[in-house]
Structure 1
Amino acid sequence: MRLYYWMTCPFACKVLAAIEEIGIKDSIELIPMHPWEKSSQLSHLNPLKQIPVLEIEDGFCIGDSPVIVEYIDTLHQGTRLIPPGGMERWKALKLQALADGIMEAAVLRVLEEHARHELHRSDPWIQRQNIKLIQSLDYLEKEVSNFNNKINIGTLSVAIALSYLNLRFSHENWAEKRQDLGRWFKKISARPSIKETHPREKHSLPEPHLMEHLG
């Protein structure tokens, strides 16, 4: 199998964290691929031209991080990252969806603030994404006491989402007013599956003339 990823993409990092957690890293080839590279073959792997993409041995490709995680969660005999049934399953999936929403809002804010030309930039759009982030973080602060020591796709996704906020918006210090969430994040960040896969600037970007732009 091959996983096409980029280390600043939180959705890709979530999949990497799941791979680390269930212990199948040695069976997956990791191929860095920037989704905005003009010459990228990503569109042949995923018509949406989004990462991550998991290519299975027969050439079948799976896009969208929740679907990829659901697939790889069938490849091991240990405790499932996605609980098999009952309320624990829906709680984990709900938490994953919230974390994915945080990642999406943060990525959209980054693109609007830094990738779009200032003449076309929309402050109301940026503010809309920021409100989503604030409300979601406040919700997590109230719910974090229920996480306990659970490791599932929900808590892994939240950890990666918070790591991405630290990468892109460290100056805003989300944990300052959310100390319970901050303590939980510090603890889970020491876990190898998060420590090894948190979003970061690891790869060199393609040359500017090879990149697509928002305009």
Structure 2
Amino acid sequence: MAAWVVMIAFLLLTLFPFYWIVRTAFSTTNALYSDPNSLLPVEFTWGAFQRVLGLGTQEQAIAEGGSGASVNFWLYLRNSAVYAGAVTVGQVFFCSMAAYAFARLRWPGRNVVFGIFLGALLVPPIFTALPNFVLVKNLGLLNTLPGMILPTFLMAPFAIFFLRQFFLGISREIEESASLDGAGPWRTFFRIILPMSTAPVTTLAIITFIT
């Protein structure tokens, strides 16, 4: 019984920030300042959602305490979907091949290169923000979708490490059987290994899309 109480308390604690977001979205800006501690929406309104969908007026937004600035929601949504989708597809495709190379193929310097990738996991992303910005600027891709997508499109250390660990758990006998049937490394990877890795690949795709 005590375990259930702890789990329910933890669940409520986890969900409370999401509830607070919803509560804030249905309150007017003026009301939030006048009664910031209320657990229920203050002066309930659909104004924020109307503005996002382009149904509200500037006068209505100002009356409710907003700035009245226009919000091109559909443009922002499209850009986010294109960016997240492209990065997800790119990372899953290229990182899965790189992970298979680290897990199965024998080539000089493999462990050294993989160690460098693991070391990259220890580098906070903020440290690469400025070099990426300079690179994108020099390529003339500032304020463009390719400029946002390219720095993270091909490779991600976590994605390679995540998939490599799964590939190491696949029996080599399966690949040896495919090799005896005349399948090369590429065919083995795309026809056998990748279909067997649906669960981790899907998990990686979800994590990448969200982050």
The structure whose RCO (Cα within 8 Å, separation 6+) is larger is 1
Whichever of the two has the greater Rg, that structure is: 2
Calculate the TM-score normalised by the size of structure 2. 0.24
> Which one has the bigger strand percentage?
1
> Which one has the bigger helix percentage?
2
Calculate the TM-score normalised by the size of structure 1. 0.24
